[in-house]
């Protein structure tokens, strides 16, 4: 049974699952779907065609499902889908997609968005991704699973960030990042391999060292970032084969 504070406003048409807790002054729009076991602490705003996965926790003043910040958006019924077991902290914002993009912004399972982080329209974020405070993703960004963004990192639109990459805080990412890459700088550069992240996921040392070889190859070829579909696929294949 859902627990709803009397000050919360849930518009007709909204779907609220079992065992949901909705705290003071939350506002839920008519096309929103709140999954089973979700917890909205207080002052949460969920609008648009937004689906929140089971057991996700939303903290005060986060805003999900507002229209995309795009001058090309024409008011269509685009969507936002947030996965299960996510934690979205104070002041975080996530927009729906655009008609000219994917039509949907998507957040995977078990993601952690810290204070003030922003995911723009048409992004596709993998599972187990961590956003430190004030991280910004531009429109159409795609990330793999287990990516970590340090505080106040910013990613330019259409960039792809590979699985297991680490973006150091205050970095500005302007091009695709290889899987397991470690990047840093205001105009971010590939500086190595996210060995710490690999160890935390249980990769044994030989596998981590094996992944370093294609990373050095990319650096020596002055391919600080991998651009173009073919190079992206080649880098992904090299890293995954080396990690076996």
Tell me which residues are annotated as active site. 121-122, 139
Cα–Cα nearest to 177, from 139, 211, 215? 215
**C-alpha to C-alpha distance for 154 and 14, rounded to whole angstroms:** 33
Supply φ then ψ for residue 45, to 5 degrees: -120, 120
In this structure, the number of other CB atoms found within 10 A of the CB of residue 168 comes to 16
**C-alpha to C-alpha distance for 210 and 238, rounded to whole angstroms:** 10
CB of 6 within 8 A of CB of 25? no
Q: What is the DSSP string of 105-166?
A: EEE-TT-EE-TT-EE-TT-EE-SS-EE-TT-EE-TT-EE-TT-EE-TT-EE-TT-EE-TT-E
Looking only at the bridges linking them, the beta strands covering 172-173 and 154-155 are parallel
Q: What is the DSSP string of 15-70?
A: EE-TT-EE-TT-EE-TT-EE-TT-EE-SS-EE-SEEEE-TT-EE-TT-EEEEPPS-
């Amino acid at each position: 049974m859902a627990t709803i504070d009397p000050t919360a406003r849930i518009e007709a048409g909204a779907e609220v699952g079992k065992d949901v807790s909705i705290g003071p002054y939350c506002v839920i729009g008519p096309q929103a779907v709140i999954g089973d076991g979700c917890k909205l602490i207080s002052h949460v705003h969920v609008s648009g065609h937004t689906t929140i996965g089971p057991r996700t926790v939303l903290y005060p003043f986060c805003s999900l499902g507002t229209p995309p910040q795009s001058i090309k958006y024409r008011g269509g019924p685009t969507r936002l889908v947030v996965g299960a077991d996510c934690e979205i902290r104070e002041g975080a914002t996530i927009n729906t997609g655009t008609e000219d993009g994917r039509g949907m912004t998507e957040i995977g399972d078990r993601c952690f968005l810290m204070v003030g982080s922003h995911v723009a329209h048409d992004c596709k974020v993998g599972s187990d991704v961590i956003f430190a405070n004030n991280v910004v993703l531009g429109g159409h960004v795609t990330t793999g699973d287990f990516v970590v963004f340090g505080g106040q990192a910013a990613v330019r639109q259409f960039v792809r960030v590979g699985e297991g990459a680490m973006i150091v805080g205050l970095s500005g990412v302007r091009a695709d990042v290889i899987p397991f890459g470690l990047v840093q700088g205001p105009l971010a550069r590939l500086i190595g391999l996210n060995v710490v992240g690999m160890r935390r996921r249980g990769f044994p040392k030989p596998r981590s060292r094996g992944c370093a070889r294609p990373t050095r190859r990319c650096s020596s070829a002055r391919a600080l970032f991998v651009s173009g579909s073919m190079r992206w696929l080649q880098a992904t294949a090299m890293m995954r084969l080396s990690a076996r």
